[in-house]
């Protein structure tokens, strides 16, 4: 087995069945990695797959922000986030913040099932993949403590 990835799993209510079904289908792959989720999503996946899932708070109560913080602090490698394109969320700003931070830190991000299929079956899943910060020019360099 290649190197373990830390995978965040998040879904809005109407997308939870789809994500749980996808996770169940890919259980053999997911069990080789460390799983994280927002409160409700993480609980449902842990129950269905009978695998340990580290649970953050529920999304509307700060869970999306916790996942975003974990990405910023390099504690998460991959995000599978089935957000709902047909319904506004009370915590839309948090959803946007999470999607934004996933892009800033250039982590693999899948927001629908076909993208998640491509991601999870990638050869890179087993490799020691070094993400790099996207070159946003001086705008990001001045903010990065690594520079
Ligand atoms: O709201 C969410 C993502 O924005 C997900 O939160 P739950 O998994 O707690 O439902």
Could you read off the pLDDT of 98-147 as tens digits, one per residue?
A: 999 999 999 999 999 999 999 999 999 998 887 877 777 766 666 655 54
Q: What pTM was computed for the model?
A: 0.92
Atom of ligand 1 nearest to the CA of 37: 8
- CB of residue 41 inside a 6 A radius of ligand 1: yes
Which CA distances in Å does 3 have to 59, 77, 92? 28, 11, 34
Interface ipTM > 0.95: yes
Mutational pocket test of ligand 1: of 8, 9, 37, 38, the residue with most ligand atoms within 8 Å of the beta carbon? 38
Check residue 112 and report its DSSP letter. S
Q: Domain locations in the chain?
A: 6-141
- CB of residue 78 inside a 6 A radius of ligand 1: no
**Could you read off the pLDDT of 60-108 as tens digits, one per residue?**
999 999 999 999 999 999 999 999 999 999 999 999 999 999 999 999 9
Positions annotated as catalytic residues are: 64
Q: 81 φ, ψ to 5°? A: -130, 100
Would you state the CATH architecture of domain 6-141? 3-Layer(aba) Sandwich (3.40)
- Strand pairing of 78-82 and 109-110? parallel
């Amino acid at each position: 087995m290649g190197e373990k990835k830390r995978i965040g799993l998040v879904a809005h209510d109407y997308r939870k069945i789809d994500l749980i079904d996808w996770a169940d289908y890919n259980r053999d792959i997911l069990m080789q990695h460390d799983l994280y989720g927002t409160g409700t999503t993480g609980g449902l996946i842990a129950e269905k797959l009978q695998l340990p899932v580290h649970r953050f708070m529920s999304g509307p109560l700060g869970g999306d922000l916790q996942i975003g913080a974990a990405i910023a602090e390099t504690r998460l490698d991959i995000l599978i986030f089935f957000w709902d394109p047909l319904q506004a969320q009370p915590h839309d700003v948090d959803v946007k913040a999470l999607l934004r931070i996933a892009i800033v830190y250039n982590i693999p991000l899948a927001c629908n099932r076909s993208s998640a299929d491509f991601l999870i079956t990638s050869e890179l899943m087993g490799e020691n993949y070094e993400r790099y910060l996207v070159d946003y020019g001086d705008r990001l360099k001045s903010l990065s403590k690594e520079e």
